[in-house]
Amino acid sequence: MNWTGRLTGIYIAREPQAALESVTVANVIEGKGIEGDRYAVSAGTFSNWEGGGKHVTLIEEEALAAIARESKIELPAASARRNLTTLGVALNHLVGRKFRVGAVTLVGIRLCEPCEHLEAVSGAAGVIKALLHRGGLRAEIVSGGEIRVGDEISEA
């Protein structure tokens, strides 16, 4: 498998349920999360839920465009409640695989299916059905470092 994509956005929220803010550069901490994000300090809404993949979440720009086209749901990237937006990356195929975002290595843990919390916080009625099986990826950080919007995403 030989592919590349791009990091199109980085989003963090310092507190649970707070609006996500866009940043162009972020420090990614191995075994923790994105510096400044609520999940890096285990303060996110789902921090205490069982299972891995809480360090960082990703969603495809293509999925956001598709739900706008198919379901007429305009969900800005920050409202999707995911840390990273990508272009040209089939995220569902990365479950169980290592991949790189710039100099950082992540491993895909499980799909990040949409939930009632996303629908409530985003205010986007119907988003659960619209994003089913394309709500993104939950990943863990294997090696940290700095990431920037525009970084290449590739297989590790």
Render 100-143 in DSSP notation, one character per residue.
EETTEEEEEEEE----HHHHHHH--TTHHHHTTT-S-EEEEEEE
Between CA 104 and CA 109 the distance in angstroms is: 16
What is the average pLDDT score of the chain?
92
pLDDT score, position 1: 60
pLDDT grade for 115, boundaries at 50, 70 and 90:
confident
Residue 10 pLDDT more than 90?
Answer: yes
Nearest to 6 by CA among 99, 143, 113: 99
Q: What is the pLDDT of residues 73-111, one digit of tens each?
A: 999 999 999 999 999 999 999 999 999 999 999 999 999
Residue 123, pLDDT score: 81
pLDDT digits (tens, 9 = 90+) for 38-61: 989 877 766 666 777 889 999 999
Q: Which CATH architecture has domain 4-155?
A: Beta Barrel (2.40)
